[in-house]
Amino acid sequence: MNQKKREQIFDHLAACIPEPTTELNYTSPFELLIAVILSAQATDKGVNKATEKLFKVADTPEKMLALGEEGLKSYIKTIGLYNSKAKNIIETCSILVEKHDGQVPRTREDLEALPGVGRKTANVILNTAFGEPVIAVDTHIFRVANRTRLAPGKTVRQVEEKLMKVTPKRHLKDAHHLLILHGRYTCTARKPKCGQCCIFDLCEWPEKLDYVE
């Protein structure tokens, strides 16, 4: 795929998705951090349902620590892996209070040092909370990048590095959400909606014609 086509893909996605943003509900970088940690192997809808009640009683690291691990579990027990997530969140809150004055750090190094925070989560926080031009590659973005041939790669890191190179600068800030929303609702894993796709003519997926109704 040539660069001109890549730019057209992002232009079309931006036109089709005028307000690209996360579907996780949050009002502060801290709430976003907790929501993203909880979202691993869980749906945004499920996370939002849990955090709606949780954030009313614990919307700061200090309040979350006061809640305690067992108290936290009572709010997130509907979410997969809630035991390990509760442990990571309490440890993370302790670090935030002790090392960062209760604030979410703005560097990748400090973010990835938090329990339960890997490169993808760090990228989400840097991009969504702080507006950094980085791309967090999840399963949706990995699929879209490979299927369309926009930025093919065998690993998540390869796809991320390729996307960072080929994404037009004007779209870097929103690229993460443009691609994830496209993958979540149009370029789905099963039965992609190719007939409704705004980048159909630009996509290089050999099987796309099989999914036009």
SS (H, E, C) 45-72: HHHHHHHHHHHHHCCCHHHHHHHHHHHH
Residue in 103, 171, 175, 108 with CA at minimum distance from that of residue 145? 175
φ, ψ of residue 27 in degrees (nearest 5): -125, 0
Q: Is 120 a catalytic residue?
A: yes
Q: Residues with Cβ < 8 Å from 82, sequence gap 6 or more?
A: 73, 76
The one catalytic residue among 49, 87, 120, 193? 120
The one catalytic residue among 85, 138, 173, 208? 138
User: Can you tell me which residue has the tokens 């305690």?
Assistant: 68
Q: How far apart are CA 36 and CA 41, in angstroms?
A: 10
How many angstroms separate the Cα of 113 from the Cα of each of 39, 91, 106, 171?
18, 11, 12, 29
Q: How far apart are CA 84 and CA 48, in angstroms?
A: 19
Q: Is 138 a catalytic residue?
A: yes
Angle between helices 139-148 and 156-166 (to 10 degrees): 60
Give the residue numbers annotated as catalytic, written as ranges.
120, 138
